[in-house]
Chains A and B, each alone.
Chain A
């Protein structure tokens, strides 16, 4: 069986010809690298779609009153924007793309533990996306917000079922990826790769995979119950039948808060990979980062209530959740200190991935610190459901996951495609994106504190100034995204060829194999003797 492939050595996985040719060779490939790229391309399409929806919303908000769309359209826009961005982009995001591509490479394995399951999870993902999108054709776009809160979700006249089912199916994909990664890391590390010699990106993927396995079923059953509520009238979340809509919120956030850590943890892993390479220094506090990742994953289960401070929960619960929320901030802060200490007295190599990584730390800190404002009870009541919250979670979700995704893309790009992007354009794109990002979201903190509520297509005239700045920032940011994407897409086909194995001088295993990697990653199974990031 393996004889067929010995002749194919040194053939890049991009060129490899298997049983199927062309497109089929990709969508039926169980090679972890191809599956990773399939996810990347799918996400590129849907990220662009949802980003355009976001831009349209900001254009609507550029002036008070109806500018380009009415209230119902606006409701549909933020719902679909949220569903796509959360369930299709950031939750699978880094694990599905870079986890699939680099996890086996970084731990010296030939593939993930269940390659077929891996391909299946991409297919399930696509089916989930199609189900969500089918709502356009059967009963109109959902308009409940991506949270599907009861009782909106079974009262709204539009057909919400495709969106609910779609999110349910996407959950399956996430679970399959999680199971696959945990087994891969337990069973397939190469000789010498002990747990504490594993690079940090795999470690964060490990913590993430556990959350995927243990939290995703919660949203699965919650969405299923909402479907049953709507179809059969079971009454579980329906206050008219004795149900408790706040219980829906509990269940929803028991998943969706850990999901925030699904989004951010791999991002933290990426940053922990990039900073040592571009500082030419070993990572500061390797074990602290590992343990804080696991701590975040664990404590992150018990803080969901801070999304519900104004829902009418008991006072005792409010205190408990507020306390736990402050607790979970500690491991995140530990990581920030570690990253800064890693750069301290390093010989910095100022390249595009490094820029993205440093700006990640910056936006992540703003997002994290404003999170504390929301985590304390008194201030939360003031800014709850205002644009302050919107700005906060965009700093964390977009700033955190988005920036680390871009950092990862620019860092691993040469390894993935065997070509280098145009560095000048890459840096230009970063500058425009970053300044657009800040111009877009910083005013929203201010607007939120003034009291501008979220999820309305209209606002009082006194909020006009801030909204103009914010909308202009959105245009700048989209321009930045465009530059980055065009540069990367162009370079993946026409960029300068890279053949050296290790263009950045990284110490982790993925830089020891061919560029781009061959079908089974390794000529001979690698052996690990030292810690990752041992720069001398």
Chain B
């Protein structure tokens, strides 16, 4: 039952993904030199989030695998962010 048809990613696609990731890293380092106040952290996190999504979707194959994995990953992320949010109910108002 297990041998469902596998999606085989090509070498080229992995290479393109890698270049994208390196470019994003470059942008992330470069943008640090621009003074934006608290926005700097936000931008850094957005870029990191983009990189993470690329890794999840292509390298970790979420884009091609069983959709269940992607749903679970999203769920875990939501739970983590909610825990973070609820924790800051304490710290932002203390």
* Chains A and B touch (C-beta atoms under 8 A apart): yes
Question: From DSSP, what is the main secondary structure of chain B's interface residues?
Answer: helix
The smallest beta-carbon distance between B74 and chain A, in angstroms, is 13
Bound state CA distance, A312 and B93, in angstroms? 11
Contact A250 B90, beta carbon cutoff 8 Å:
yes
Q: Find out whether the CB atom of A314 lies under 8 angstroms from the CB atom of B83.
A: no
Q: How far is the CB of B89 from chain A (nearest CB, A)?
A: 4
From A308, which residue of chain B is reached at the shortest CB distance?
B90
Pick from A298, A317, A321, A324 the residue with the most CB of B within 10 Å.
Answer: A317
For window 303-332 of A, CB contacts with B under 8 Å fall at 305, 312-317, 320-321, 324
- Whether a CB of chain A sits under 8 angstroms from the CB of B76 is yes
CB distance from B80 to the nearest CB of A (A): 9
Q: Are B93 and A316 in contact (CB under 8 A)?
A: yes
Instruction: Tell me the complex Cα distance, A302–B81, Å.
Output: 11
B82 CB, min distance to chain A CBs, angstroms? 6
* Beta-carbon contact of B90 and A305 below 8 Å: yes
Interface size class of B (residues with CB under 8 A): 10 to 19
* B8 in the interface (beta carbon within 8 A): no
Interface residues of A, count at CB 8 A: 18
Specify the main secondary structure of chain A where it touches its partner. Answer: helix
Task: Assess the B82–A317 pair: CB atoms within 8 A.
Answer: no
Q: Which residues of B contact A324 (CB under 8 A)?
A: 86
Q: Total A-B residue pairs with C-beta atoms closer than 8 Å? A: 40
Does B79 interact with chain A (Cβ within 8 Å)?
yes
- A412 interfacial contact with B, CB 8 Å: no
- Measured in the bound complex, the distance between the Cα atoms of B87 and A250 in whole Å is 8
- B89: chain A residues at CB < 8 Å are 305, 314, 316-317, 320-321
Contact at A214–B76, with CB atoms within 8 Å?
yes
A192 CB to nearest chain B CB (Å): 15
> CB < 8 Å: which of A214, A250, A315 contacts B93?
A315
Q: Is A301 an interface residue (CB 8 A)?
A: yes
Least Cβ–Cβ distance between B68 and chain A, in angstroms: 8
Beyond A214-B76, A214-B79, whether A305 also contacts B94 by CB under 8 A is no
B93 to chain A, nearest CB (A): 4
Inter-chain CA distance A321–B93, complex, in Å, is 14
Say whether A80 faces chain B, with CB atoms less than 8 Å apart.
no
Closest to B80 in A: A214
Look across to chain B and name the residue whose beta carbon is closest to the beta carbon of A213.
Answer: B76
Once the chains are docked, how many angstroms separate the CA of A246 from the CA of B83? 15
* Contact between B79 and A305, CB atoms less than 8 A apart: no
> Is B91 close to A, CB under 8 A?
yes
- A314 to B92 Cα, complex, angstroms: 8
CB-CB nearest 7 A-B residue pairs: A314-B93, A317-B90, A316-B93, A317-B89, A314-B94, A313-B90, A320-B89
**Chain B interface residues (CB < 8 Å from chain A):** 68, 76, 79, 82-83, 86-87, 89-94
Q: 15 A–B contact pairs at CB < 8 A? A: A186-B68, A214-B76, A250-B90, A254-B83, A301-B79, A301-B83, A302-B82, A305-B86, A305-B89, A312-B94, A313-B90, A316-B92, A317-B90, A320-B89, A321-B89
Query: Given known contacts A250-B87, A320-B86, what 18 new A-B pairs fall within 8 Å (CB)?
Result: A186-B68, A214-B76, A246-B90, A301-B79, A301-B82, A302-B82, A305-B86, A305-B89, A312-B94, A313-B94, A314-B89, A316-B90, A316-B92, A317-B86, A317-B89, A320-B89, A321-B86, A321-B89
